Each structure stands twice: as C-alpha cells, then as structure tokens.
Structure 1
Amino acid sequence: MKWLKSLLVAAALQTIAVAPVHAQSNLDQIKTAGVFKIGTEGTYAPFTFHDASGALVGFDVEIGREIAKRMGVKAEFLEGKWDGLIAGLDAKRYDAVINQVGITEARKQKYDFSEPYIASKAALIVRADNEAIKGFGDLKGKRAAQSLTSNFGKLAESNGAQLVATDGFDQSIQLVLNGRADATVNDNLSFLDFKKHKPDARVKVAATQDKADYSGVIIRKGEPQLLAAINEALAAMKADGTYQAISEKYFGQDVSK
C-alpha cells in the first residue's frame, strides 16, 4: 500500500505543477505597478495640450488624472498623433486612450468604451469672409482640413469634401486661415476655446450639427474589471461635483449632456 500512497502523492504534485496559473487582470497589474498609462495627443486644446510652461494640461488630462486617483494609482500620459493612438492599445503601449474618442459602433466591435463622459457637436468652420459655405452640403468639392481617421474627417468626406491631412485642430485652423483649406469640420467646444484665446482670429462657424456625439475612455476588449473601475470613477466624479468643476473650468458649463 505504501507504493500506492507514493504514487498518489506524486500524481497530486504533478497536477499542481501543471495547473494553470491565473494571470492577473489588467486592473490588478495597474494597481501593482501604481500607474495607469493613458494614450493622448497633447496637441488638441482644450482637451489635451501643453501650456506655456510645457506642462500637459486639458479637460481630458484632468479627467484621466482623476480616474487614476480614484483607482489608487498615478496617471502616466504617453503622447502620440491621433492616427496612431488607438492602434497603440493593440500594441499595449498604454491601458486606455483618453482623447475625445467618439463612441461608434465600428469601434465598439473591437474595443470597449466607458460610459460617455462628454458630449460635443460637429462645427463647420470657415474663414470669416467665406460666404460660399453655409452648410455641410456645401462641402462638396471643397478642401477640408482634417485628421483622416477622426469622426469629423469622415463627416466632411461623407459630404463630398476632399480631405487635407492634418495632425489636429490647431493645424486644421491654420490651413483654413491661410487658404490652403476651405473649411474644417471640428469640435464646437474646441472652437469656442480657440476663440476665447484668439478672439480676433478670422474664422467663424458656418453650421453646427443638431445631434450630439459622445466620447468615452477606450480600452481593449476583455478587461471588464478595468472598465468597471473607470465607470465607477466617472460616476463618483459626477456625484461629488469634481466633474462639474473640471467642466466649468474649461467650458463654463456641464459638457456631459
């Protein structure tokens, strides 16, 4: 019988040795590292940009820092151009992208989004002396300065515009101002912020879409614990007034609706 006991013990040890080790969830890894890595542009005022001192600031930046804080970790921002930001999730360069990423059905097929944290409308921006473009339908055959993969770029293209590739809002506005583009379709909130800082800039809003678009924090699929933690942080921020304070700081109003 001694040999049988030995055989059973050996079998049990072998089972333990080959038993799969459950991998830590991404949320566990974030908490262990103490860092929530966030992809962002850093060139898209007032959402994510650098102030006069060179510090990374903006509405999305403050939202990201608050989410990290409520998860018990620090936010670390990794900057990149818009067209490669979401691809950085696939490469696992960061844990999330917080950069006014529009929630679309196409993106939801491959990624998960938090609950919406901001609502915006598309604004058709032209030079102040442009009387030919009065609505989105007037973009047909015109040059629109756009980030090529953004929702705004797709909207301009769907209205017949020829896209002129740019790195973001500021470059798009400059191309409109210097006549290298006829228009840009961009965020109405970005335009209001731009005019607040440069009231004499000779650009105007020719039209604004009625329907609001919503943006969320975007993460890889299959990370339900992280998604829940992000949503909990956003809900807590809205409940205790932190979201309202950040929103009013940049826009003078609640931009969640």
Structure 2
Amino acid sequence: MKRLKSLLIAGLLQVAALSAAHAQSDLERIKSEGVLKIGTEGTYAPFTYHDTSGALVGFDVELGREVAKRMGVKAEFLEGKWDGLIAGLDARRYDAVINQVGITEARKAKYDFSEPYIASRAVLIVRGDNESIKSFADLKGKKSAQSLTSNFGKLAEASGAQLVGTDGFDQSIQLVLNGRADATLNDSLTFLDFKKQKPNANVKVVATEDKASHSGIIVRKGETALVAAINQALEAIKGDGTYSKISLKYFGADVSK
C-alpha cells in the first residue's frame, strides 16, 4: 500500500513538473536555454541561402542573428522546405520563422507576427523573348512556376495560371529559363538580386503588383512576451543603423518601408 502511495505521489509530481514546464513561456525558455531557434529555407537568395563556402547567409539570416543578439541569446538556424516551414512551429521544431513570411489575416488567425521588418512587391517574370505575357491577366491558362503555398502561388492561381510546383525561387526561375514554365510570380527584391548576380540571364519583369506586401517574424500563437522582445530587438536594430547597413549590403536601399 505504501509503495502504491509513493508511486502515485511520484506520478503526480511528474505531471506537475511537466505542467510547469509547459506553462513556461517560449521567451522564458529561450532565455534559459540561451538559444533562439529559427526556421528558414536556406534556398531563397538574397534572404536566406548558402554562399560559395556553404555558409548560411542572407538578409533574413543576418537580421535573425541580430534579433537573437539583442535578446541576449544566440541564433540557431534550422532549414526546411517552404511548404512545411511554418508547420514546424506547430511541431515546436523552432521558436520563430524568419523567411520572408507575408503577414496575412489567415496566418494571423493561427500565429503571431512581429511588426513588419520588410516590404516588397510581387513581380511577374518571363523569358526575355516572351511577348505573349505582359500583365497578370495574361497568366490565364499559362504555366507559372511557384511554391504552392506561398502568397505568390496564390496570386498566380487567382490570375488563372496553372501552377507548376517548385521548392523556391531558384527552381522557379530555372523552369522559366528552360521553357518548362511560362512565368513565375516572385519577390521584386529577390529578382533584383538575381539580376545583379546574373545580369545576362534571359528573363525580364513585365508587370509589378501595385500593393506592397509586408513580412514579419512569425511565432506560435499567444507568445506575446516573445513578440514584444522581438519587436524591441527590431526597433533597436533599426535605431542604431544596423538595419540600414544590412539592407544596403543586400539591396542597395532601405527596404523597411
């Protein structure tokens, strides 16, 4: 009887310990562990990609490291394909995703976002010799290479395009270049970086979305303390000129507005 009672008490203590650990906020755990785990693609230049040495670099990567630094912890990046990236938050694989995640009402219903840290517009990209597509309306019935769950993919589909699924910008642009897709809708800043790296690539922009879209750092729903800490870090990064320095390095302009 005594043994049964001891086992029962031990079980209750274990449950209480697990409940306490679960009650601990993400920010408290991050501070305790000294690490901010960040989900990112690693294949989306100039935001998150690998340089010639194999190192993970990019605008979002540098920003993530600075955010972690201002929070008093280290950044640890965990890479994954875009289509499953945000779902990694649900699986608690990481604490935040920094990967040009567009702030949408649908995502805000399930997750929390930091304040916007970058603005961009969608551009319609085709081969340089393509004269049949000159506007978003011309996408109807055409093949558009897209990450299927991205905002760009949804915009292409809304324009009547037949989607050709890809892992990201690099694969999308290659499908356009080799004629396996008629077009791709993608980020204006990414395209500028691509043309800077490959000025002779046979692709061009034929249309630009009027409305700018904003991206933020996305975390699990209800982590208000973590969002506040991230926003404070972003404010400090912009305030001391660090943001401008990173922005100029990758884009040649301030892209926060």
Same fold per TM (> 0.5)?
yes
- Structure whose CA Rg is larger: 1
Q: In structure 1, what is the Cα distance between the partners aligned to 2:174 and 2:142?
A: 16
Q: In structure 1, what is the Cα distance between the partners aligned to 2:49 and 2:20?
A: 42
Q: In structure 1, what is the Cα distance between the partners aligned to 2:202 and 2:24?
A: 54
Instruction: Provide Cα deviations, 1:131-160, integer angstroms capped at 9, x if missing partner.
Output: 000000000000000000000000000000
Q: In structure 2, what is the Cα distance between the partners aligned to 1:155 and 1:161?
A: 9
SS of the aligned residue for 1:46 comes to coil
The alignment status of 1:123 with 2:119, answered yes or no, reads no
The alignment status of 1:191 with 2:191, answered yes or no, reads yes
Unaligned runs of 5+ in 1: 1-17
Specify the alignment match of 1:169 in structure 2: 169
SS of the aligned residue for 2:145 comes to strand
The alignment status of 1:256 with 2:256, answered yes or no, reads yes
Specify the alignment match of 1:111 in structure 2: 111
TM-score, normalised via structure 2 length: 0.92
- What's the offset of the Cα at 1:21? 4.5
Specify the alignment match of 1:26 in structure 2: 26
Q: In structure 1, what is the Cα distance between the partners aligned to 2:70 and 2:59?
A: 17
TM-score, normalised via structure 1 length: 0.92
The alignment status of 1:206 with 2:206, answered yes or no, reads yes
SS of the aligned residue for 2:125 comes to strand
* Counterpart code for 2:139: L
* Counterpart code for 1:73: V
Q: In structure 2, what is the Cα distance between the partners aligned to 1:163 and 1:24?
A: 42
The alignment status of 1:154 with 2:148, answered yes or no, reads no
Q: In structure 1, what is the Cα distance between the partners aligned to 2:36 and 2:167?
A: 25
Specify the alignment match of 2:49 in structure 1: 49
- What's the offset of the Cα at 1:70? 0.4
Q: How many residues align?
A: 240
SS of the aligned residue for 1:76 comes to strand
Q: In structure 2, what is the Cα distance between the partners aligned to 1:187 and 1:57?
A: 18
* Counterpart code for 1:206: V
* Counterpart code for 2:152: F
Q: In structure 2, what is the Cα distance between the partners aligned to 1:201 and 1:26?
A: 44
SS of the aligned residue for 1:219 comes to strand
The alignment status of 1:74 with 2:77, answered yes or no, reads no
The alignment status of 1:182 with 2:182, answered yes or no, reads yes
Specify the alignment match of 1:222 in structure 2: 222
Specify the alignment match of 1:138 in structure 2: 138
- What's the offset of the Cα at 1:24? 2.0
Instruction: Provide Cα deviations, 1:174-203, integer angstroms capped at 9, x if missing partner.
Output: 000000000000000000000000000000
* Counterpart code for 2:141: G
Instruction: Provide Cα deviations, 1:220-243, integer angstroms capped at 9, x if missing partner.
Output: 011111000000000111111110
Instruction: Provide Cα deviations, 1:72-130, integer angstroms capped at 9, x if missing partner.
Output: 00000000000000000000000000000000000000000000000000000000000
Unaligned runs of 5+ in 2: 1-15
